[in-house]
């Protein structure tokens, strides 16, 4: 085989030899004692399992031949002309199942299988992580249960149907705010109850240690491929900036990670501003002008939308994958170190971003990824002609067509 | 390091043992079914046989709790319950010199946002003798433990049935007040049967520590209390009691009846 992946060095592979449970002050492992044996099980075995040549070649083979990696880096000629600087799209929308989520689902499912677990549970917001998990469970012959908030079930009907077709049991979560946060609570409760035979396949770079590092290590392939493709076109050069949307932050950290030690590269995360900061209906943890507050939610200490008592607040975004109260701990550290910058765009701006990319390039991004495009538009005056910016198109927009259609019908009335 | 202090919580276990009974430890979500009822409910439990009352400060995302306590927390939050209001209720309870001592159960973010030291000081000031934090495993508890030792309030550690020998040893070394033994892996809520291996589990814990053992998660009837009392030093009853308190009009009477029933176990 003479694929691009074969030429990649050691850095391509997930590396768990030197895991710390904290990123500066953020991270940690705040879970019930009952889960500690399961967490310790992962922490103690993950390095040996993932270092094994058999694991590496199986994962690499599946990433190439099943997921379709490496995904392309597409030059967005028309959009570049419109905005006045070069825009390169990292095409995670072309990965199998239509989003970056499959990279992590595959890595963790192979890990779970080698740990002897037969049953996989996962949470899902937009449905993309649920679909990715159900997909790899079908492939690997694992039992699969997906927790999904009732509000998300209602707005992502087709993904529910997809997961069920793939053989997963979808459990509708009807308590709390009935969205991603409550789906995670319910998945944790399932895990606490079935801790012996069940593996919790968490979908974002969040939650208790070691999940933030596990998810990042299985997603860093995004940035590594992007850098390699970029440098094959511009030898020895680096992009001016890399841009991604940030919910929990897995696609963003996947893109950022390989560039963290390239100080000339701006790392730009775009959060979901919903109806605007003032409205209170948003999902902005970092980009707000107000001092962000850190707290503990679902196993992790990081920046969190909460009231002064510590109760977690309701969030809102048109993009279900960004509709979450906490940002991952590595982003918290990058923000605090001022290594990465975080901005936000509103629902309406994201919709405009979606239409812009669709109209100029013939690529319909997911509403989540449309936030990254809208972020470029918002920040366009900070770039110069000749700048080269990589934007992660973390997923494709098919799943959102119904919601956008309904919204435009409402507007017409 | 072994803690040097003792407080009313230790005394409650000693007293129960002297009577050859297990300490009875009902759980009550503060602000449920209403804020007005919290103080009279605490008094009712104390007057009807409770030795130690576990008081829950509601949190929006209680991952260790089953449906009954989740629902009570949500209703309490909708009632406008805040940590500040809970401490007011506990201060009023403390003034009346009731027999049962109070242990707080809440999630770590509630403590963090009040400020750990501020929270611990308030606990001491209203006579709270222990704190249970279900999402704070041993590794993350050092800071809180240091403060609690200083203020002479016990940090209660959990021991789940799936614990490793190594971890049990570490937790036992830290243990103070009581060990919260979880009867089965899972969340809070009534269950039909007690675990079969309760005896061996307790003997194993006692190899490492003399700290009293209280059994929780899943206990709801006098028979189960009676069974558990043969092995452990205290019995925690949560969801089964909370279920009796749905209707504000009957909550006090139901609490009294429930408490008398379980305290007269054979």
DSSP symbols for B139-185: GG-HHHHHHHHHHT-EEEEEE-TT--HHHHHHHHHH--S-EEEESSS
Distance CA B24, CA B130 (A): 15
Contact of B71 with B187, CB cutoff 8 Å: no
A165-to-A161, A170, B20, B138, B203 alpha-carbon distances in Å = 6, 11, 59, 42, 49
CA atoms within 13 A on the CB side of A186: 25
Q: Tell whether B183 is within 8 A of chain A (Cβ).
A: no
Provide mean pLDDT across the span A130-155. Answer: 96
From B52's Cα to the closest Cα of chain A, the distance in A is: 22
Does the distance separating the beta carbons of B70 and A306 come in below 8 Å? no
Sort out which chain B residues have CB atoms less than 8 A from A40's CB and list them: 164, 167
Q: Tell whether A407 is within 8 A of chain B (Cβ).
A: no
Distance CA A187, CA A262 (A): 37
Interior angle at CA A307, CA B35 and CA A201, nearest 5 = 105
Q: Which of B231, B257, B235, B234 is nearest to B244 (CA)?
A: B257
Q: What is the pLDDT of residues A66-117, one digit of tens each?
A: 999 999 999 999 999 999 999 999 999 999 999 999 999 999 999 999 999 9
Residue A266: in which H helix or E strand, if any?
Answer: strand A266-272
| 3-state secondary structure at position A175 | coil
Choose the catalytic residue: A204, A283, A369, A394.
Answer: A394
**B82 → chain A, closest CA residue:** A309
Interior angle at CA B152, CA B147 and CA B154, nearest 5 = 85
To the nearest 10 degrees (0 to 180), the angle between helices A221-233 and A211-219 is 30
pLDDT under 70 in chain B at which residues?
A: 1-3, 196
What pLDDT is attached to residue A402?
Answer: 85
Q: Tell whether A295 is within 8 A of chain B (Cβ).
A: yes
> What's the whole-number average pLDDT of chain A?
94
Distance CA B240, CA A311 (A): 26
User: DSSP letter at B102?
Assistant: E
Q: Indicate if the pLDDT at residue A290 is higher than 80.
A: no
Q: Indicate if the pLDDT at residue A52 is higher than 50.
A: yes
Q: Tell whether A31 is within 8 A of chain B (Cβ).
A: yes
From B20's Cα to the closest Cα of chain A, the distance in A is: 30
Tell whether omega for the bond before A210 is within 30 degrees of 0, i.e. cis: yes
User: What is the percentage of chain A residues whose pLDDT exceeds 70?
Assistant: 97
Strands B52-56 and A294-297: unpaired
What pLDDT is attached to residue B12?
Answer: 98
What pLDDT is attached to residue B266?
Answer: 77
What pLDDT is attached to residue A157?
Answer: 86
Interface test with B, best of A310, A312, A329 (most B CBs within 10 A): A310
Interior angle at CA A363, CA A362 and CA A366, nearest 5 = 150
Q: Is A336 exposed, middle or buried, given 0-12, 13-18 or 19+ CB atoms closer than 10 A?
A: middle
Distance CA A97, CA A63 (A): 12
Distance CA B174, CA B40 (A): 35
Distance CA A223, CA A366 (A): 19
Provide mean pLDDT across the span A372-387. Answer: 98
From A365's Cα to the closest Cα of chain B, the distance in A is: 32
Contact of A229 with A148, CB cutoff 8 Å: no
Contact of A295 with B61, CB cutoff 8 Å: no
Q: Pinpoint the alpha helices (H) of A266-394.
A: 329-336, 347-361, 367-378
**A296 → chain B, closest CA residue:** B109
Q: Which of B85, B126, B73 is nearest to B103 (CA)?
A: B126
- For residue A47, what are the contacts with CB-CB under 8 A and spacing of at least 6? A16, A17, A19
Interior angle at CA A131, CA B63 and CA A154, nearest 5 = 70
What pLDDT is attached to residue A8?
Answer: 55
- For residue B136, what are the contacts with CB-CB under 8 A and spacing of at least 6? A30, B108, B144
A288 given a catalytic annotation: no
Q: How confident is the model at residue A1 (pLDDT cuts 50, 70, 90)?
A: very low
Residue of A293, A298, A309 with shortest CB distance to B63? A298
Give me the count of residues in chain B.
Answer: 266
| 3-state secondary structure at position B59 | coil
What DSSP string runs through B14-55? HHHHHTT-PEEEEEEETTSS-HHHHHHHHHHHHHTT-SEEEE
What pLDDT is attached to residue A289?
Answer: 64
What pLDDT is attached to residue A136?
Answer: 98
Interior angle at CA B139, CA B134 and CA B141, nearest 5 = 55
From B266's Cα to the closest Cα of chain A, the distance in A is: 31
Does the distance separating the beta carbons of A311 and B60 come in below 8 Å? yes
Does the distance separating the beta carbons of A28 and B134 come in below 8 Å? no
Distance CA A176, CA A313 (A): 11
What pLDDT is attached to residue B193?
Answer: 76
Name the one residue in this structure whose structure tokens are 């990824």: A369
What pLDDT is attached to residue B189?
Answer: 84
If you classify domain B8-263 with CATH, what class do you get?
Answer: alpha beta
Structural domains in chain A, CATH included, are 23-67+101-215 (3.40.50.1100), 73-97+220-412 (3.40.50.1100)
Q: Which residues of B are the active-site residues?
A: 54, 65
Contacts 24+ apart (CB under 8 A), A349-354: A349/A273, A349/A374, A349/A377, A349/A378, A350/A272, A350/A318, A350/A319, A350/A374, A351/A318, A351/A404, A351/A407, A352/A377, A353/A377, A354/A397, A354/A400, A354/A404
Does the distance separating the beta carbons of B159 and A297 come in below 8 Å? no
Strands A266-272 and A340-345: parallel
Q: What is the pLDDT of residues A244-272, one digit of tens each?
A: 999 999 999 999 999 999 999 999 999 99
Q: Tell whether B127 is within 8 A of chain A (Cβ).
A: no
Q: What is the pLDDT of residues A232-245, one digit of tens each?
A: 999 999 999 999 99
From A329's Cα to the closest Cα of chain B, the distance in A is: 16
Q: How confident is the model at residue A2 (pLDDT cuts 50, 70, 90)?
A: very low
Choose the catalytic residue: A123, A217, A349, A361.
Answer: A123
Interior angle at CA A393, CA A181 and CA A328, nearest 5 = 35
């Amino acid at each position: 085989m003479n694929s691009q992946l074969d030429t990649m060095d050691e850095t391509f592979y997930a590396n768990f030899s030197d895991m710390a449970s904290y990123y500066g002050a953020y991270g940690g492992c705040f879970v019930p004692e009952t889960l500690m044996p399961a967490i310790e099980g992962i922490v103690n075995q993950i390095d040996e399992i993932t270092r094994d040549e058999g694991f590496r070649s199986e994962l690499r083979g599946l990433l190439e031949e099943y997921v379709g990696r490496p995904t392309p880096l597409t030059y967005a000629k028309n959009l570049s002309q419109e905005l006045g600087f070069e825009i390169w799209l990292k095409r995670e929308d072309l990965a199998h199942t239509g989003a970056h989520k499959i990279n992590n689902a595959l890595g963790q499912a192979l890990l779970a299988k080698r740990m002897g677990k037969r049953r996989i549970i996962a949470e899902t917001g937009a449905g993309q992580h649920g679909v990715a998990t159900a997909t790899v469970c079908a492939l690997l012959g694992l039992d699969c249960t997906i927790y999904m908030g009732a509000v998300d079930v209602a707005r992502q009907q087709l993904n529910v149907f997809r997961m069920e077709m793939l053989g997963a049991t979808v459990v509708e979560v009807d308590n709390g705010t009935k969205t991603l946060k409550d789906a995670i609570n319910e998945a944790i409760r399932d895990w606490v109850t079935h801790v012996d035979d069940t593996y919790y396949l968490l979908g974002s770079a969040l939650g208790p240690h070691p999940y933030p590092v596990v998810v990042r290590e299985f997603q860093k392939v995004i940035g590594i491929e992007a850098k390699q493709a970029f440098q094959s076109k511009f030898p020895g050069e680096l992009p001016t900036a890399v841009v991604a949307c940030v919910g929990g932050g897995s696609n963003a950290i996947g893109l950022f990670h390989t560039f963290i030690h390239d100080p000339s590269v701006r790392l730009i995360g775009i959060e979901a501003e919903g109806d605007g900061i003032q409205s209170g209906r948003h999902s902005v943890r970092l980009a707000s002008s107000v001092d962000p507050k850190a707290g503990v939610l679902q196993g992790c200490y990081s920046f969190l939308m909460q009231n002064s008592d510590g109760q977690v607040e309701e969030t809102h975004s048109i993009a279900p994958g960004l509709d979450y109260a906490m940002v991952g701990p590595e982003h918290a550290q990058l923000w605090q170190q001022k290594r990465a910058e975080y901005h936000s765009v509103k629902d309406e701006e994201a919709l405009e971003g979606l239409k812009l990319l669709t109209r100029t390039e013939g690529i319909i991004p997911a509403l989540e990824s449309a936030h990254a495009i809208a972020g470029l538009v918002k920040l366009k005056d900070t770039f110069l002609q000749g700048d080269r910016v990589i934007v992660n198109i973390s997923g494709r927009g098919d799943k959102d067509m119904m919601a956008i259609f309904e919204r435009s019908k409402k507007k017409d009335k | 390091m072994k803690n040097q202090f003792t407080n009313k919580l230790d005394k409650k276990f000693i007293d129960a043992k002297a009577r050859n009974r297990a300490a009875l430890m009902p759980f009550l979500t503060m602000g449920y079914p209403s804020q007005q009822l919290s103080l009279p409910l605490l008094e009712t439990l104390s007057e009807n046989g409770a030795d130690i009352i576990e008081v829950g400060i509601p949190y929006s995302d209680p991952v260790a709790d089953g449906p009954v306590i989740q629902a009570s927390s949500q209703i309490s939050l909708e009632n406008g319950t805040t940590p500040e209001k809970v401490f007011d209720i506990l201060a009023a309870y403390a003034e009346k010199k009731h027999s049962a001592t109070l242990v707080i159960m809440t999630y770590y973010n509630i403590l963090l946002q009040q400020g750990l030291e501020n929270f611990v000081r308030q606990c001491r000031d209203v006579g709270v003798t222990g704190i249970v934090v279900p999402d704070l495993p041993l590794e993350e508890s050092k800071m809180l433990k240091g403060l609690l030792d200083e203020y002479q309030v016990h940090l209660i550690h959990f021991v789940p049935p799936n614990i490793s020998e190594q971890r049990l040893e570490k937790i036992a070394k830290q243990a103070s007040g009581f060990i919260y033994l979880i009867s089965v892996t899972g969340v809070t809520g009534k269950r039909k049967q007690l675990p079969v291996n309760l005896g061996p589990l307790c003997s194993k814990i006692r190899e490492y520590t003399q700290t009293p053992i209280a059994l929780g998660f899943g206990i709801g009837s006098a028979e189960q209390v009676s069974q558990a009392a043969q092995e452990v030093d205290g019995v925690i009853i949560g969801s089964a009691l909370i279920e009796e308190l749905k209707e504000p009009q009957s909550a006090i009477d139901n609490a009294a009846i429930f408490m008398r029933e379980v305290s007269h176990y054979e």
